[in-house]
Structure 1
Amino acid sequence: MKNINKYSRNYFMPPVSSLKWTEKEYITEAPTWCSVDLRDGNQALVVPMNLEEKLEYFQMLLEIGFKEIEVGFPAASETEYTFLRTLIEQNLIPEDVTIQVLTQSREHIIQKTFESLKGANKAVVHLYNSTSVAQREQVFKKSKQEIIDIAVTGAKLLKKYAAETEGNFQFQYSPESFTGTEIDFALEICNQVLGEWQPTADNKVIINLPATVSLSMPHVYASQIEYMSDHLDYRENVILSIHPHNDRGTGIADSELALLAGGQRIEGTLFGNGERTGNVDIVTLALNLFSHGVDPKLNFENIPKIIAGYEKFTKMKVNERQPYAGKLVFAAFSGSHQDAIAKGMKWREEKQNEEWTVPYLLIDPKDIGREYEGDVIRINSQSGKGGIGYLLEQQYGLELPPKMREDFGYCVKNVSDRLQKELMAEEIYDIFKKEYVNIKTPVEFINYQFMKHDDFKTNVTIQIEENISEIVGVGNGRLDAISNAIQKKLDITYKDLVYKEHALEIGSESNAVSYVGIRTMDDTVYWGCGIDVDIMTSSVKALFSAVNKIKK
């Protein structure tokens, strides 16, 4: 590409090696989650939420289980201020939930922020100022010391107004644009703020290290976090928080490695909503933990309901391939994938295995409110016999013989290919009935009667066009006798009759279903299916269905 020389690696590695996190295999417990949907996510919307929408969204976050929720920038607009006051004055904040508000390090903004918090049971006041080289040089045109002075002045003002305001307050500081800041400078400014606040075991402080813009590969961010964690003053009384954005598409990886490196708390949004490419997606992070057997302490057992709420309030859509939540993430169209999933599900059922190890499915879709039939096995021209057969069995109780599954699979694929569309379960069932079930042309089965003195001699009544006739057959069994009568009457020959039957229940009806496969002398196999309340009659109908496919 052109203009490659415009770009360089404008991030900063720690001054000493910080790689202890690489020795850890996985995250052993959930971090403290802080939703920033109502602030960071809301400010990124084309049309920000109104008061009523924010109140409903807040309730949805409570139902999911968030215990820390950033509710806005109350000094920034009347809507933000009114929203916060409504939460407090109408007692809408549960006692075990902490709200969080954002403020710049400017006195009139800090004063307005504390006015909005009056009477809050517990609130985090989040102070920030930008510290990166680019911001210092291009935006603020200030020295490092001047940037430190802004932060320390803000820290002092938080103490001042907290002492004068009714409520219970915890302080948080973010060196905004941390990833573009020299690490030793980021450490210096955070320690200066900590020195002003002097956190204790009973009054801990949050230091939040945001990837305001993601500038590096995830291992660099992890090393930056580990260095800060190892060198922050008052570390035992500091909650180390991270706030990754997704500019490089690595928000999840940044977060997970940062947790290994000492991060204890994560600020993010549902489905990664936020400025530019968004904040880190808390849904994905939480369910990644879930997939490793770690309780995420958030409830995503009804993902469809959460998606509906999210899309209603934000006017945005969850992508079809969004991890866990997307409509197609559990869907298998490929024949080999469908076959593996179907066999894995059957193996798990037969073995009564508690552990989830089904091929291609990271977690059990039902654990997050998804259904196997509608979400997992999806049928189009790429699908195979395994998935198609599994769908018929799960939704319609049809247990096709393996070779018949293959035959029907080609039939379905041809229809999907011709129509250039995915086929729904009812469409597939309709194709099956049309192609295999109780076929009556050109030869219609009317009735049969076994001789009382000889069970293996049979009279069969058939109709060809307008003509009804009776044929007689003899064989080593009832179905064989009928088969011989058909071959003699129609002057056809076939061999290797394959037969399977089972009970069938569809809705309130209870029937028997039979499958018959016959091989003609040119080695072509024809399949038929019969459904009837009587098991023997269903077998005869299946045989006639297969024969009629020869005669077509």
Structure 2
Amino acid sequence: MLRDPSIKYRPFPQVDLPDRQWPSQTITKAPRWLSTDMRDGNQALIDPMDSEKKQRFFDLLLKVGVKEIEVGFPSAGATEFDFISGLVQNGKIPDDVIVQVLTQSRRDLIETSFQSLKGAKQAIVHLYNAVSPAWRRIVFNMSQTEVKDIAITGAKILRDEAAKQPDTDWHFEYSPETFSTAELDFSLEVCSAVMDVLKPTPGKPIIFNLPATVEAATPNIYADQIEYFGRNIPNRDSVVISLHTHNDRGTGVAATELGLLAGGDRVEGCLFGNGERTGNVDLVTVALNMYTHGLDPKLDFSDIDEVIKTVEYCNALPVHPRHPYAGELVFTAFSGSHQDAIKKGFAAQEQRNDQYWDVPYLPIDPKDLGRDYEAVIRVNSQSGKGGVAWVLEQDKGLKLPKRMQADFSRVVQALADETSRELNAADIWGAFGQHYHLADDRPYELVDYDEARGQVGGERVFAGRIRLNGEERSVSGRGNGLISSVIAALRDETGLELEVLDYQEHAIGHGADAQAAAYVECRTADGRTVFGIGMDEDVATASVRAVLSAANGA
């Protein structure tokens, strides 16, 4: 890389708009959405979609709720033409959906485009030609006048071809391609000339696609360009400004959002941002950004995994695991501090019980996208006690006391370090059962018991049978409660001394199938702290099992 890149690259010029209004605006409603997955996205694939994949993608877009779909470039070849014509002839376009086709400004290509849509109830024909200095000078070797004449000629052909099929409700879109790197006043001049031919009205406006064909500036400059265009185009009420950003600088979403603030009416892009080079703007991200601000985007991503599955199949491209909102890992925390904040956020959300979502690190409720909470926290060597406790709560319904969380997290940390991999719920449950002696090889095991009141005050009597190292024994003890009487029985029979420091319990589940979980923290005669857990349909039995679990760790 050059140490002084200014000798090779020039900064992008600012737009002279000192009284710009877009920075103080707010997005208050969803734009019109156009999916260009089947055209712009398709032409960027290593292996373009065949008819079967195109139909599957079209059906997905209908399910998501996209009402304007650019279905192809009919003059590109028989596959494109036949698919588009088939949609029309076979009645596969719903009445509330309008399809769009793209064509360069050449008579034969425009005529072919209209033929592909013959019989459609309504359709958009999208005409384009490049207008920026680099294209005029390098690609076409044309003057501004010659480039403008291409647009005017194409617009006249649009008008005349539409008149030949009066039964179709025709709409027109024109794109001064490479708009973002062209002179603003020249783009306005060309678009005004196209309007003079097509004569749009407020009832049937013209769509002007203002693309960042190659993203070459910061998003604020694109917003300035959009606002300047909107202020200066004649008959603004007869114009729909359509934003078509690419992602060459990695800011396609930001440019689109600022473009909406600047007066954009429509957004063109692809699901998950497929497209040439670094891609078109990602419609999913733009829509869900609105959703997380309380705006209905008018698109439905409530089954995001099905959308991903279809898009990956049709595009033969993976959705990145860190892709906004959609990636496999975007709702997943491995870091201990993140896990602790998320766990506390869910607890506070449940306790607060209002309608507003407010969970740290999660800008959207995964359930709104059809995801569950199991993968929100996953455990590896970076995880903390909150993450381990979350997995046990989600998988087994256990709500470990804080000090027990810390005790068990050390076990999990050691296991994660030893295995050098992510630990799944089965790994964690296996380690939990081993550490708290829930498996069959435990030294102390309950067989059965009875509890009765003693002769003195509130004294309780525990009389039961336990297995000690496989040998069944009868034990009994007295105390001021069930737990203390169990501890007394163990002391009298085996000499084990335990002092109870804490006891907690809660229900697992609801209704007839509910169980009780009991947790006990004890101190041994030599000052060590041990924890125990017991689970049973009966809360008293669960507490007995918890004491025996602690005894097994003493």
TM-score by length of 2: 0.94
Distance 1:521 1:89 in 2: 86
Distance 1:72 1:6 in 2: 41
Counterpart of 2:484 in structure 1 is: 480
Structure 1 residues 450 and 218: alpha-carbon distance in aligned structure 2, compared to 1, 3 A threshold = closer
Counterpart of 1:88 in structure 2 is: 88
Q: Tell me the CA shift for residue 410 of structure 1.
A: 2.2
Q: How does 1:460-471 map to 2 (within 5 A)?
A: 460-465=464-469, 467-471=471-475
Structure 1 residues 507 and 248: alpha-carbon distance in aligned structure 2, compared to 1, 3 A threshold = farther
Counterpart of 2:53 in structure 1 is: 53
Counterpart of 2:311 in structure 1 is: 310
Q: Deviations over 1:340-378 (max 9, x none)?
A: 2222222222221111111111111111111112x3122
Q: Tell me the CA shift for residue 523 of structure 1.
A: 4.1
Structure 1 residues 226 and 7: alpha-carbon distance in aligned structure 2, compared to 1, 3 A threshold = farther
SS in structure 1 at match of 2:204 = coil
Candidates 494, 499, 502, aligned match of 1:495 = 499
Counterpart of 2:522 in structure 1 is: 518
Q: Tell me the CA shift for residue 90 of structure 1.
A: 0.4
Counterpart of 2:62 in structure 1 is: 62
Contact 1:513–1:538 (8 Å) recurs in 2: yes
Computed over aligned residues only, the root mean square deviation of the Cα atoms, in angstroms, reads: 2.2
Distance 1:84 1:209 in 2: 25
Q: Deviations over 1:133-169 (max 9, x none)?
A: 1111111111111111111111111112111235221
Structure 1 residues 546 and 319: alpha-carbon distance in aligned structure 2, compared to 1, 3 A threshold = same
SS in structure 1 at match of 2:62 = helix
Q: Deviations over 1:29-67 (max 9, x none)?
A: 111100000000111111111111111111110111111
Q: How does 1:257-272 map to 2 (within 5 A)?
A: 257-272=258-273
Distance 1:65 1:74 in 2: 24
Counterpart of 1:273 in structure 2 is: 274
Q: How does 1:196-235 map to 2 (within 5 A)?
A: 196-235=197-236
Q: How does 1:350-499 map to 2 (within 5 A)?
A: 350-373=351-374, 375-438=375-438, 441-450=442-451, 453-454=454-455, 456-465=460-469, 467-499=471-503
Distance 1:443 1:296 in 2: 60
Q: Tell me the CA shift for residue 173 of structure 1.
A: 0.9
Distance 2:550 2:24 in 1: 64
Distance 1:84 1:334 in 2: 49
Q: Tell me the CA shift for residue 509 of structure 1.
A: 5.3
Greater mean alpha carbon deviation, residues 288-297 or residues 447-456:
447-456
Structure 1 residues 229 and 482: alpha-carbon distance in aligned structure 2, compared to 1, 3 A threshold = same
Distance 2:512 2:434 in 1: 22
Q: In the alignment, does 2:190 pair up with 1:189?
A: yes
Counterpart of 1:245 in structure 2 is: 246
Greater mean alpha carbon deviation, residues 1-10 or residues 73-82:
1-10
Candidates 539, 542, 551, aligned match of 2:543 = 539
Contact 1:457–1:481 (8 Å) recurs in 2: yes
Counterpart of 2:341 in structure 1 is: 340
Q: How many residues align?
A: 548
Counterpart of 2:296 in structure 1 is: 295
Distance 1:535 1:264 in 2: 62
Gaps of 5+ in 1: none
Q: Deviations over 1:484-522 (max 9, x none)?
A: 332354444343432223333599855433212112355
- Equivalent AA in structure 2 for residue 47 of structure 1: D
Contact 2:437–2:552 (8 Å) recurs in 1: no
- Equivalent AA in structure 1 for residue 518 of structure 2: S
Distance 1:6 1:217 in 2: 20
Contact 1:438–1:531 (8 Å) recurs in 2: no
- Equivalent AA in structure 1 for residue 290 of structure 2: L
SS in structure 2 at match of 1:75 = helix
Greater mean alpha carbon deviation, residues 434-443 or residues 335-344:
434-443
Q: Deviations over 1:226-267 (max 9, x none)?
A: 101100112110001110000000000000000000111110
Q: In the alignment, does 2:247 pair up with 1:285?
A: no
SS in structure 1 at match of 2:2 = coil
TM-score by length of 1: 0.94
Contact 1:12–1:179 (8 Å) recurs in 2: no
Q: Tell me the CA shift for residue 447 of structure 1.
A: 4.1
Distance 1:118 1:227 in 2: 37
Distance 1:80 1:344 in 2: 50
Q: Tell me the CA shift for residue 543 of structure 1.
A: 1.2
Q: Tell me the CA shift for residue 545 of structure 1.
A: 1.4
Counterpart of 1:21 in structure 2 is: 22
Distance 2:99 2:452 in 1: 85
Gaps of 5+ in 2: none
Structure 1 residues 372 and 452: alpha-carbon distance in aligned structure 2, compared to 1, 3 A threshold = closer
Q: Deviations over 1:164-188 (max 9, x none)?
A: 2352211111111111111221121
Contact 1:396–1:506 (8 Å) recurs in 2: no
